[in-house]
Amino acid sequence: GNSVTQMEGPVTLSEEAFLTINCTYTATGYPSLFWYVQYPGEGLQLLLKATKADDKGSNKGFEATYRKETTSFHLEKGSVQVSDSAVYFCALSDRGSQGNLIFGKGTKLSVKP
Amino acid sequence: DTAVSQTPKYLVTQMGNDKSIKCEQNLGHDTMYWYKQDSKKFLKIMFSYNNKELIINETVPNRFSPKSPDKAHLNLHINSLELGDSAVYFCASSGGGTKETQYFGPGTRLLVL
């Protein structure tokens, strides 16, 4: 079945450091891919998405490119801020099941001043 | 103004009780979902529902039942609560032009004693 694998956290970085959170997927067909972010005590917010191969999603300085050849959707940011501290979830949309999202296990990011 | 809202935000109850969590969306979406987030932050789909079809994750106990009085609401009813039901429950919705993008509520933190 479809699945998403994320790098395990927690990840601790200093402010202005470069961030990469790896995400790979297994899916039949061509799912849409998403990154969601969960700030402490809050619900999930869509961060960015890509719907087909080679698409790049971007938002708030974060980027991820849909790589079909490596089945990956790694999240990157050039310079993190303390306010980016959150849990990040990679997900794919299971088109065969009303678009249910299949999530990775989440990666907790802590950014220190 | 809240797009997807849930009540209550916190729910503390005794084992064996029956409880409901309400979800409402004002986005005009036609599909709604319930997810469970466990203590390790892992998110898993429980149900997805539109006005034509209910899809149930086969791992969800039949003590859990979704009830939809209309297109804007999908409530979650839980019978005979167990300790293992303690988790955060998220409602989400999707539809319209961005069908695959799901918008999440703030979550309901359920603690079963």
CA distances B54 to A76, B46, B50, B63, B74, Å, are: 36, 11, 7, 16, 11
Per CB-CB distance under 8 Å, the chain B contacts of A98 are 31, 48, 50, 53, 55
Residue B101 has pLDDT above 90, yes or no: no
pLDDT at site A74: 98
pLDDT digits (tens, 9 = 90+) for A42-95: 889 999 999 999 999 999 999 999 999 999 999 999 999 999 999 999 999 876
**Residue labelled with tokens 């849909």:** A66
d(CA B6, CA B23): 5
Q: Are the beta carbons of B107 and A42 separated by less than 8 Å?
A: yes
Minimal Cβ distance to B100: which of A32, A36, A45? A32
Nearest chain A Cα to B4, which residue?
Answer: A43
Tell me, yes or no, if A6 comes closer than 8 A to chain B by beta carbon.
no
Q: Are the beta carbons of A98 and B53 separated by less than 8 Å?
A: yes
